[in-house]
Amino acid sequence: MNPKNFILLLLPLLLLSFSNGNAQEKLMHPKNEFRAVWIATVVNIDWPKAGTDPVEKQKADYLEILNTYKKLNYNAVIVQIRSVGDAFYPSKLAPWSKYLTGKEGQAPNPYFDPLEWMITEAHNRGFEFHAWLNPYRATMDLKTEVLSPDHDYFKHPEWMIKYGGKYYYNPALPEVQTHLIAVVDEVVRNYDIDAIHFDDYFYPYKIAGENFNDTESFKKYGNGMKLDDWRRLNVNNFVKYTSYSIKSIKPWVQFGISPFGVWRNKSVDPKGSDTQAGQTNYDDLFADPMEWMEHSWIDYLLPQLYWSLDHRTASYSKLIKWWSENSKNTAVYIGNGSYKVNADSDKRWNNPSEIPNQIDVTRSYQNINGNAFFSAKSFVNKNKAVTKLLTENQYKYPALPYVVPNSRKIVMDKPTVCNTTKTDSTTTYTLNYPLNGMQRYVMVYGAKNNTEIDVNDPSQIIDKIAFKEKKDSIDIVIKKNDLDPTYAYALSFIDYYGNESEATLLHTPTETKTIQHHSK
C-alpha cells in the first residue's frame, strides 16, 4: 500500500473509531470473512465468453475463473443462473439460456447439466455457491422473435410489461409471484447450493418520460393504497414468501439480496444517507432492505457500493458507515465495483490501492463481515497491480465465510481417525463418517512443531476438502510435501450452515486429541 494513501486513509479510520460504536480495531488477517465474486452470465459479461463456444472451452473458462479466485483466497462465488426468464440448468419452468448455447431453448451439446457441474467444481475448491437469479427481468430487448416458444413471454403474455426497451414480469400479479417462487424452489430442491441470491433489479430503474404501466393491476389490487407503497408491498411480499419457501425446503440454504447502494437520500428522509443519488431503492426501485432486515426475511444483505471512498455524491466511506449503523438481524457484506478499476471517469479507480483501502475500511466495522466484487473478469489476467496488493496484504491467507446469524449452531461431530495408511508420497487419514449432522467440508490445519496449532490463525489453513459422497468413512490425503516431520496437523468439520466443529489434533497415526477453537 502506498504510504501516502495509508496516511490519508488512517485519519478517517481514527475518526470512525471515535464516532461509531460499531467500529473495532482493524484485523489484517481475519480467520472469518466473506470474500465473494459475482460471475455474470447475462450478455456473456464474465462467462461463458460466448454462447457459441464449445462445451469444453466453456468448462475451461469457468475453471480459470475459479482457480484465479482460489489463488486470491476468495471463498464464495455468486453465479448468475437466470437473467431473462431463462435457465442455465434443465428446467420445467424456463428455456435454456441463449447465453449458454447461442440459441434460447437449445440444450448444451454434448449434453450436461451446467449448474450441477459448476456447483461441484466450486465445492471442490472450497467455495460457497450462491445461485444468482434475476426474478423480474424477462428480456434484454424487444426482439421477441429470438425467444423460445417456451419463454413466459409467449406462454403468459398477460404477465409482461414493456418498459425501457425490455419486457418485465409484473410484480403485482399473484400468479407471477407464485411462478417466480416456483422457479426458486426448483433450484433449491434439485441442486446442492449454499444460497439463493437476488441483485438490485426489482421494479426497473426509472427512465425519464416513461411510465411503468401497471395501472390495471393497481386498480385491481391497490386496495386504496398509494402507488409507491403498494409497489413496495408487492416486493416485500415476494421477498417474504421466497424466504419462507427456501427455508421450508432446505433450512441451511441462505437467502441473500444485493440491493442498490443507497436506501434513501437524507434530503428526502432524515434517516437516509448523506448522498445525492439520482435513484434510490426505496423511492425508485420500490425495494426496502430495512423492512427485509427488520423481519429477518433474508440471511444476508450485500449493498452495492460501487463508488470510490471519497466519491462526491455517494462516497463508499459515508455509505458503509450508514449501512453499519442501520443494519440488524442480518449478516451484512459490501459489494465493491472492481469493474471500475482503470476503467472509470472517477480517476480514483486508477489507484491500485482503492480496492485494498475499501477492504480495510470494511474491516473497521465489526458488524460488516466481508466483501463481494463485481465482476469476475476484473481480476482474471487483469489489474495485476491490485491483485498483487491483495495477495500480499488483505487476502494473504485463506478465510472461512462467517456463519449467518440465523444459522449459528454447535457442531456435535468432530473428526475421529479410525485408520492411517502411509505411502512414499502421502498419508491417508480415514475418518469415521459424521453421524449427527450434515457436514460439507473437512478443514486441514498445519503448523511446525515449534508452533502450536491455532485453528484461529488463517496462516495455518492447509486445505478445505469437500465431502464427495456419503459412506461409512471419509479419506483425507495429505501429500508428502505437506508432511514435513516438523509439522503438526489438525482436522475439523464444516457443516452445511458453515459452522465449524471442534478440531482434532493429529499427533501420530495412533494418537489424536481434540482441541478447542473460538466460537464465531
Instruction: State CA 226 to chain mean position distance.
Output: 34
Residue 475 lies inside a defined structural domain of this protein: yes
Give the list of residues 6+ apart from residue 9 with CB closer than 8 angstroms, or none.
Answer: 309, 357, 360, 361
Number of domains in the chain: 2
Residue 520 lies inside a defined structural domain of this protein: no
Together in a domain, 54 and 195: yes
What stretch of H or E contains 251? none
Cβ pair 302, 334 in contact under 8 A? yes
Domain closes at, from 371, 387, 406:
406
Together in a domain, 163 and 123: yes
pLDDT at 19: 35
pLDDT tens sequence across 383-397: 999 999 999 999 999
Residue where the block lists cell 482434532: 504
The one-character DSSP state at 132 is E
Together in a domain, 265 and 232: yes
Residue 217 lies inside a defined structural domain of this protein: yes
Residue 19 lies inside a defined structural domain of this protein: no
Together in a domain, 456 and 359: no
pLDDT at 517: 54
Task: Provide φ and ψ at 212, rounded to 5°.
Answer: -80, 110
pLDDT at 8: 39
* Residues facing 398 on adjacent strands: none
Rounded to whole angstroms, how far apart are CA atoms 91 and 70? 30
pLDDT at 10: 41
Rounded to whole angstroms, how far apart are CA atoms 266 and 335? 21
pLDDT at 481: 62
Residue 8 lies inside a defined structural domain of this protein: yes
Together in a domain, 269 and 318: yes
Domain closes at, from 378, 406, 434:
406
Residue 471 lies inside a defined structural domain of this protein: yes
Tens digit of each residue's pLDDT, the chain (520 residues): 444 443 334 434 333 333 333 434 457 899 999 999 999 999 999 999 999 999 999 999 999 999 999 999 999 999 999 999 999 999 999 999 999 999 999 999 999 999 999 999 999 999 999 999 999 999 999 999 999 999 999 999 999 999 999 999 999 999 999 999 999 999 999 999 999 999 999 999 999 999 999 999 999 999 999 999 999 999 999 999 999 999 999 999 999 999 999 999 999 999 999 999 999 999 999 999 999 999 999 999 999 999 999 999 999 999 999 999 999 999 999 999 999 999 999 999 999 999 999 999 999 999 999 999 999 999 999 999 999 999 999 999 999 999 999 999 999 999 999 999 988 888 899 999 998 889 999 999 998 877 889 999 999 999 999 998 777 889 988 887 665 677 889 999 999 999 999 999 986 444 444 454 554 4
Q: What is the CATH number of the domain that holds 464?
A: 2.60.40.10
Rounded to whole angstroms, how far apart are CA atoms 226 and 395? 48
Residue 450 lies inside a defined structural domain of this protein: yes
Domain closes at, from 371, 406, 441:
406
Query: Minimal CA–CA distance to 331: which of 200, 197, 182, 442?
Result: 197
Together in a domain, 153 and 166: yes
Together in a domain, 424 and 377: no
Rounded to whole angstroms, how far apart are CA atoms 318 and 322? 6
Burial class (CB in 10 A: 0-12, 13-18, 19+), 119: buried
Residue 211 lies inside a defined structural domain of this protein: yes
Together in a domain, 104 and 192: yes
Q: What angle do CA 55, 58, 59 make, to 5 degrees?
A: 85
In this structure, how many other beta carbons lie within 10 angstroms of the beta carbon of residue 267?
10
Residue where the block lists cell 409482461: 160
Together in a domain, 115 and 134: yes
Q: What is the CATH number of the domain that holds 358?
A: 3.20.20.80
Q: From edge to edge, which strands make up the β-sheet containing 76-82?
A: 331-332, 300-301, 254-257, 195-198, 128-133, 76-82, 34-39, 370-373, 334-336
Residues in the chain: 520
pLDDT at 479: 80
Together in a domain, 436 and 361: no
* Residues facing 76 on adjacent strands: 36, 128
Parent domain of 504: 408-515
Together in a domain, 499 and 379: no
Together in a domain, 211 and 253: yes
pLDDT at 126: 98
Q: What angle do CA 393, 399, 403 make, to 5 degrees?
A: 140
